[in-house]
Amino acid sequence: MEALRRLGLDEVWWLVSPQNPLKPAKGMAPLAERLASAAREANHPRIKPTDIETRLGTHFTIDTLAALQARFPTTRFVWLMGADNLSQIPRWRRWIEIFHRLPIAVFARPSYCLPGLAGLAAQRYARWRIDPGRARRLADCPPPAWVFLATKLDPSSATEIRAKAQKPTRRSKR
């Protein structure tokens, strides 16, 4: 919701990855379960969880972005990520190309804001960072362009959200 509102986007595609190359597969919920969980959490008609990476056959963000832009050449994409990913994006395959392929919106995450903003990616692309007051124009900015958006900080991780969703609910007897 915050991305729709702050960035003026038409819709958000929530890419549910078949397997994050930087995370161990052990303990990962099956894709169908994670997709269903994302659909429950999205709870908005303009936020669309998708398994398009599986259908595209891509494993790395840069390849997914290239495939999406080839498939939808008139769509203006904006990459959305948390500040935790801003810290670690230099570990991603061809991360510099990501910054040069499309605008990026980074959302604050508890305990990751300062490390993210002090990290390699933020420092390397500091001169292309736009003011949050211009965030609604981000999709129109030629890359590299990025914005850091301070938001209400939610400490929940995807693991915690899944665990909460799996707890049985108590029903009252009437």
Q: Identify the structural domains of the chain with CATH numbers, from first to last.
A: 2-152 (3.40.50.620)
- 53 to 35, 59, 66, 77, 134: CA distances (angstroms): 12, 7, 11, 15, 30
Put simply, whether the predicted model's pTM sits higher than 0.85 gets the answer no
Judged by DSSP in three states, 34 sits in: helix
Amino acid identity for residue 3 in this structure = A
The residue ranking higher by pLDDT, 160 or 71, is: 71
Question: Looking at residue 113, what is its pLDDT?
Answer: 82
Question: Looking at residue 171, what is its pLDDT?
Answer: 46
Question: Looking at residue 34, what is its pLDDT?
Answer: 85
Structural contact between residues 123 and 96, judged by C-beta atoms closer than 8 angstroms: no
Say if residue 174's pLDDT is above 60: no
Question: Looking at residue 169, what is its pLDDT?
Answer: 45
Structural contact between residues 116 and 84, judged by C-beta atoms closer than 8 angstroms: yes
Say if residue 118's pLDDT is above 60: yes
Give the helix ranges, DSSP H, for 81-149: 83-88, 95-101, 113-118, 120-124
Amino acid identity for residue 141 in this structure = C
Token pair belonging to 26:
């052990």
- Render pLDDT for 61-94 as a digit per residue (tens, 0 to 9): 999 999 999 999 999 999 999 999 999 999 999 9
pLDDT band with cut points at 50, 70 and 90 for residue 161:
low
- Render pLDDT for 29-67 as a digit per residue (tens, 0 to 9): 777 888 888 888 888 899 999 999 999 999 899 999 999
Range in 76-85, 90-99, 106-115 the model is least confident about? 106-115
